[in-house]
């Protein structure tokens, strides 16, 4: 049927309206799309660029250079050396086992090392680089670098590693650094992100540990671009961190080196302190160990050899060791008695070789006795009976108080590990420790530095320095941090009567300069360098009445670990003290025969800045002294005419 013209016109109008509506909708859609595209491409360009960058740009922490440690004369005693290492990042590597397998074809990687790396990869975040190997040779390092395109996620790095140029000489002072352990992290509330880097090293002992926060520095960052396989394409930018602060110690590294050599193979300790400032010029424990072994990774056999050595090379005997001070403690007892007024300098005590207390005899080291002795001669000849008597008169409370006044039973604040407080016992201490009363016999034993009394070599050096000056000299080890000098604290007067101090010093003078003195064999014949000292011999075993009746067994006939400890304290020069020295030789025997000669040589070395002229020694000893010098392995010893300063 044919449509009418009117119907056709109506149909055309409807189609036109629909077309226009559709065209309008298409126009609106196109316009909206255009505006949306402009918004994404222009207005949001930075945001999407950042999102794209995050897929190809990685941020890595840059470990800072650890602060350098120097001696008082700016000689480096703990520094950094260049270290070639290789790391792997799990996120970028993909199949880490396959990558490590390829890597092992290029350089030696023992199976145990590969297993350790695989374990570390599994327990660390995938974005964290894991150290595969360090301290590589240039050949191995360059071989890996050339083959980097075939090793996704593997990065070659050049960093710094700790090194100790003097090796064993300062091991106990400096300590060493080592990788951060889970135990280290567990002790920190808010660990530095640096510490999360595997094998990042921190101080473990000594100055390295105690000044860790200053020495570590702050991390830097670098942004690197990587491709889809994880290969580093380029470094976009780098922001270096802040290097750790440099630290200057009070130690004189040449004197430290000499003391270590002089102690030799003995199980011993020696401390040299500058009496005006309290500066520790040398503080040595022997035998020692090479801290570089711990930095590089000590082997099982090497570590076992150190731990099973009966001379305990890992222990710092200077501050950790606590020994009965023996007759060196008579300086304390003498001053306590003089200050308490229970004895005068000229009063004498009769010594028949023993003192009886109840049914027990307290023996003098000289079986025949010393006869009548006054204060000066009691120190000169180290008469035990004299000190039994004065200790009984003055009492343990005043002896203990004087001991603390002179530095024994006091923990000094130094950046060293496990510093001992020693022990100046009194009645309250024994009651608390053992639940028993203090006995008069305890007082007698304490009066001669036996029984419960304990002192470290550091405390004995402080004791000598305080007697020499009459001031509360405190030891210090750090001279400057980050270039800022640390002024030594003002040492106040001990408040001890100068006449009493002078009397004790005179007794110490006679110990080394009187023919009857116990250390006369270790005298110095140059009046400008004369020593004033005190010998000590402390027992480590009980001597029974039966043994005394048949004769006390000589130290030479006893096993090493049952022999007496040998001790000596001194200051020099006598007329104008500059240094104080203490020496303890474990199981060395007699203080006069073993410790005193060592202390004399150390004091003379400290005063001379090198080998003193042979003329300062007694003529009969000069050939032997020269021969001993030639055997010592020391740093550039000065000529025999002596040096002018510690260089």
Q: Is residue 16 part of a domain?
A: no
| CATH number of the structural domain spanning residue 359 | 3.40.710.10
For 159, the 3-state DSSP assignment is: strand
Q: How confident is the model at residue 543 (pLDDT cuts 50, 70, 90)?
A: low
pLDDT value for 573: 98
CA dihedral over 383, 387, 388, 389, signed as positive or negative: positive
- pLDDT of the residue at 577: 97
How many percent of the chain have pLDDT more than 90? Answer: 58
- 162 and 75 in a common domain: yes
Whether 228 and 258 share a structural domain: no
Contacts of 98 (CB under 8 A, 6+ apart): none
Average pLDDT over residues 344-370: 92
151 & 261 share domain: no
pLDDT in tens, 413-441: 999 999 999 999 999 999 999 999 999 99
Query: Which tops the pLDDT comparison, 8 or 532?
Result: 532
Q: Is residue 15 part of a domain?
A: no
What integer pLDDT is reported at residue 554 of this predicted model?
A: 67
Burial class (CB in 10 A: 0-12, 13-18, 19+), 80: middle
Same domain, 279 and 216: no
CA dihedral 351, 357, 359, 365 (to 10 degrees): -40
One domain, residues 169 and 259: no
At residue 534, the pLDDT reads: 97
Residue 310 falls within a domain, yes or no? no
Instruction: Say what the pLDDT of residue 208 is.
Output: 96
User: Are the beta carbons of 256 and 282 closer than 8 angstroms?
Assistant: yes
Query: Closest Cα to residue 534, out of 555, 563, 504?
Result: 504
Residue 506, in any domain of the structure: yes
| CATH number, position 183 | 3.90.1310.10
pLDDT (average), residues 319-331: 96
Closest to 94 measured CA to CA, from 33, 7, 152, 10? 152
Task: Tell whether 262 and 239 lie within a shared domain.
Answer: no
4 is catalytic: no
Residues 199 and 143 in one domain: yes
Q: Cα(212)–Cα(476) distance, rounded to whole angstroms?
A: 18
User: Would 483 be classed as within a structural domain?
Assistant: no
pLDDT digits (tens, 9 = 90+) for 51-88: 455 456 766 677 788 999 999 999 999 999 887 878 88
Structural domains in the chain (count): 2
Determine the average pLDDT of the residues in 290-319: 90
Domain boundary among 249, 269, 284: 249
DSSP track, 15-67? HHHHHHHHHHHHHHHHHHHHHHHHIIIIITHHHHHHHHHHTTEEEEEEPPPPP
Indicate the average pLDDT of the chain. 86
Residue 115 and residue 187 in one domain: yes
Contact call for residues 170 and 70 (beta carbons, < 8 A): no
401 and 370, same structural domain?
yes
Task: Identify the top-confidence range among 90-104, 210-224, 369-383.
Answer: 369-383
pLDDT for 39 beyond 90: no
Whole-number pLDDT of residue 450: 95
DSSP H helices, 61-133, are 90-93, 96-106, 111-123
Mean pLDDT of 177-182: 82
- The answer as to whether 576 is a domain residue is yes
Please check whether residues 273 and 368 belong to one and the same domain. yes
Strand partners, 69: 78, 247
Q: Please give the C-alpha separations between residue 261 and each of 256, 284, 523, 594, 633, in angstroms, as whole numbers.
A: 9, 10, 21, 15, 6
Asked if pLDDT for residue 286 goes beyond 60, the answer is yes
More confident residue, 91 or 556: 91
Mean pLDDT, rounded, for 428-457: 96
Are 516 and 575 contained in the same domain?
yes
Q: pLDDT class for 646, splitting at 50, 70, 90?
A: very low
Q: Tell me, what's the pLDDT at 233?
A: 61
Catalytic residue among 161, 285, 327, 378: 327
What whole-number percentage of the chain has pLDDT above 70? 86
Kindly tell me if the per-residue pLDDT of 157 is higher than 80: no
Whether residue 46 is contained in a domain is answered as no
* DSSP letters for 217-264: -B-EEEEEEE-TT--EEEEEEEE--BPPPPEEES--HHHHHHHHHHHT
Domain of residue 340: give its range: 253-301+315-477+497-631
pLDDT of residue 333: 98
pLDDT band for position 300 (cuts 50, 70, 90): confident
CB 328 within 8 A of CB 567: yes
pLDDT in tens, 98-152: 888 888 888 888 887 788 888 878 777 777 777 787 777 788 878 888 887 788 8
Same-domain check for residues 165 and 281 = no
pLDDT per residue as tens digits for the range 221-254: 767 666 655 555 666 777 777 889 999 999 999 9
For residues 347-362, average pLDDT: 92
| 137 inside domain | yes
């Amino acid at each position: 049927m044919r449509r009418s013209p009117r119907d056709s016109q109506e149909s055309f109008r409807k189609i036109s309206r629909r077309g226009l509506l559709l065209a309008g909708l298409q126009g609106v859609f196109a316009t909206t799309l255009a505006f949306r595209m402009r918004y994404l491409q222009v207005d949001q360009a930075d945001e999407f660029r950042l999102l794209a960058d995050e897929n190809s740009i990685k941020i890595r922490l840059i470990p800072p250079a650890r602060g350098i440690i120097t001696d008082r004369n700016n000689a480096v005693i703990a520094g950094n050396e260049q270290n070639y290492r290789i790391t792997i990042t799990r996120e970028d590597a993909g199949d880490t086992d396959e990558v490590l397998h390829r890597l092992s074809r290029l350089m030696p990687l023992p199976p145990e090392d590969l297993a350790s790396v695989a374990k570390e990869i599994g327990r660390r975040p995938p974005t964290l680089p894991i150290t595969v190997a360090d301290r590589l040779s240039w050949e191995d390092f360059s071989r890996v670098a050339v083959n980097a395109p075939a090793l996704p996620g593997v990065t070659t790095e050049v960093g710094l590693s700790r090194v100790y140029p003097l090796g064993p000489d300062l091991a106990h002072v400096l300590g060493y650094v080592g990788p951060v352990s889970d135990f280290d992290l567990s002790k920190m509330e808010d660990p530095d992100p640096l510490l999360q880097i595997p094998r990042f090293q921190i101080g473990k002992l000594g100055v390295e540990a105690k000044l860790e926060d200053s020495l570590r520095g702050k991390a830097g960052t670098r942004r690197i671009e990587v491709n889809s396989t994880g290969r580093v394409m380029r470094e976009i930018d780098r922001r270096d961190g802040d290097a750790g602060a440099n630290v200057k110690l009070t130690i004189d590294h040449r004197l430290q080196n000499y003391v270590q050599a002089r102690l030799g193979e003995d199980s011993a300790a020696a401390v040299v302190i500058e009496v005006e400032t309290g500066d520790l010029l040398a503080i040595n424990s022997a035998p020692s160990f090479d801290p570089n072994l711990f930095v590089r990774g000590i082997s099982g056999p090497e570590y076992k050899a150190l731990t099973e050595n009966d001379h305990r090379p890992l222990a710092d005997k200077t501050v950790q060791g606590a020994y009965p001070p023996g007759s060196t403690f008579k300086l304390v007892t003498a001053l306590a008695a003089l200050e308490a007024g229970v004895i005068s300098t000229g009063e004498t005590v009769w010594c028949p070789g023993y003192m009886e207390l109840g049914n027990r005899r307290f023996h003098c080291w000289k079986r025949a006795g010393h006869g009548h002795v006054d204060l000066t001669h009691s120190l000169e000849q180290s008469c035990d009976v004299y000190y039994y008597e004065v200790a009984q008169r003055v009492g343990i409370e005043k002896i203990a108080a004087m001991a603390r006044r002179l530095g024994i039973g006091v923990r000094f604040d130094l950046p060293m590990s496990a510093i001992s407080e020693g022990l100046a016992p009194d009645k309250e201490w024994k009651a608390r420790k053992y639940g028993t009363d203090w006995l008069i016999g305890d007082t007698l034993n304490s009066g001669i530095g036996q029984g419960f009394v304990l002192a470290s070599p550091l405390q004995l050096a402080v004791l000598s320095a305080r007697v020499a000056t009459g001031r509360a000299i405190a030891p210090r080890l750090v001279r400057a941090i980050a270039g800022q000098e640390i002024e030594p604290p003002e040492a106040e007067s001990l408040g001890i009567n100068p006449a009493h101090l002078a009397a004790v010093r005179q007794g110490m003078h006679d110990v080394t300069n009187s023919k009857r003195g116990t250390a006369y064999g270790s005298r110095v014949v140059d009046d400008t360098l004369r020593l004033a000292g005190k010998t000590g011999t402390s027992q480590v075993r009980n001597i029974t009445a039966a043994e005394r009746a048949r004769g006390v067994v000589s130290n030479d006939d006893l096993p090493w670990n049952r022999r007496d400890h040998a001790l000596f304290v001194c200051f020099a020069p006598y007329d104008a003290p500059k240094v104080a020295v203490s020496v303890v030789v474990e199981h060395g025997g007699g203080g006069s025969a073993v410790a005193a000669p060592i202390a004399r040589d150390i004091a003379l070395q400290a005063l001379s800045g090198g080998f003193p002229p042979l003329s300062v020694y007694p003529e009969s000893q000069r050939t032997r002294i020269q021969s001993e010098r030639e055997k010592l392995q020391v740093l550039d010893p000065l000529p025999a005419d002596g040096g002018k300063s510690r260089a």
